[in-house]
Amino acid sequence: MMTRIVAWYEFLFTVKRPAYLIVTFGLPVFIGMYIGFIMLVSLGTASYVVEGLSTKVGVVDETGLLEHAKRYEADLEEDKRRRNEKGTEIESAARRFEEMFEKIAPDDSRTFATLDAAREALDSGDIDVIIHVPINHVETEAIDCFVRKWKLFGAIAAPQRVRQRLRLGLLQRAGLSDAEMAIIRGGDEDGASLGAVTLYELGAGDQFVEVNQIQRILGFAVPAGIAGLLIFALMLNAGFLVAGVAEEKENKVIEVLLSMVRVDQLLMGKVLGLSGAALLQLFVWAAMAGPIPLIVAWAGSEAIGFEWRPGVILISAIFFMLGFVFYGALLVGLGSLGNNTKESQQYSMYIMLPPIVPILMVVALVNAPNGLLSRALGWFPLFSAPTMMIRLATGEVPIWDILLSAVILIASTWAAVRVSARLFRIGALMRGQSMNPIRIARLLFHS
Amino acid sequence: MTRIEFQGVSKSFGGGASRIDAVRDVSFEATGGETLGILGPNGAGKTTIIRMLLDVFRPDAGEIRVDGGLNGNRLDTFRRRVAYLPEERGLYQKRKISDVIEYTGALRGLSRAETRDRATPLLERFELAAYARKKVATLSKGMSQKLQILLSVLHDPDVLIFDEPFSGLDPVNVRLVRRLVLEHRERGKLVCLCTHMMSEVQALCDRVMMMHRGSRVLYGPLQEIRRAHTDYQVTVDIDAAPEGLACVDRVERVENSKNVYLKEGRTLSDFLREMAMAGRTMRHMSEGLRSIEDVFVSVAGASRVSVSGEAK
Res B308: pLDDT: 37
A59: CB partners within 8 A, 6+ apart:
A66, A109, A110, A111, A112, A118, A130, A131, A132, A133, A162
Percent of chain A with pLDDT over 90: 3
Contact, B142 vs B111, CB < 8 A? no
Higher pLDDT, A364 or B128: B128
pLDDT digits (tens, 9 = 90+) for A144-200: 888 887 766 554 566 777 777 777 777 666 566 666 665 655 554 444 444 467 777
Res B274: pLDDT: 87
Please give the Cα distance from A251 to A255 (Å, whole number): 10
Q: Counting every residue, how long is chain A?
A: 447
Q: Which of B280, B233, B278, B230 is nearest to B252 (CA)?
A: B233
Residue of A nearest to B89 (CA): A252
Res A40: pLDDT: 66
Put simply, whether B167 touches A (Cβ < 8 Å) is: no
Burial code (b: 16+ CB inside 10 Å, e: under 16) for B195-206 equals bebbebbbebbb
Contact, A352 vs A234, CB < 8 A? no
| Inter-CA distances, A298 with A32, A213, A291, A301, A329, Å | 19, 18, 11, 5, 41
One-letter amino acid identity for B74?
A: R
Average pLDDT, integer, range A349-370: 79
Res B251: pLDDT: 81
Please give the Cα distance from A235 to A356 (Å, whole number): 9
Half-sphere exposure of A380 (CA within 13 A, CB side): 12
Helix (H/G/I), strand (E/B), else coil: A197:
strand
Strand partners, A110: A58
Neighbours of B163 (CB within 10 A): 20
Put simply, whether B56 touches A (Cβ < 8 Å) is: yes
pLDDT digits (tens, 9 = 90+) for A192-229: 444 467 777 777 777 887 777 666 666 666 656 666 77
Residue of B nearest to A430 (CA): B13
Res A424: pLDDT: 79
pLDDT digits (tens, 9 = 90+) for A407-436: 999 999 889 888 888 887 777 666 666 666
Residue of B nearest to A264 (CA): B56
Please give the Cα distance from B169 to B145 (Å, whole number): 8
Query: Do A252 and B95 make contact, defined as CB atoms within 8 angstroms?
Result: no
Res A173: pLDDT: 66
Query: Do B106 and A9 make contact, defined as CB atoms within 8 angstroms?
Result: yes
Res B37: pLDDT: 92
Main-chain phi, psi angles of A430, to 5 degrees = -90, 145
Helix ranges (H only) for B133-208 are 141-153, 171-186, 198-204
Facing residue for A259 by CB, picked from B79, B89, B92:
B79
Intervals of chain B under pLDDT 70: 15, 70-76, 230-233, 237-241, 300-312
Please give the Cα distance from B60 to B56 (Å, whole number): 13
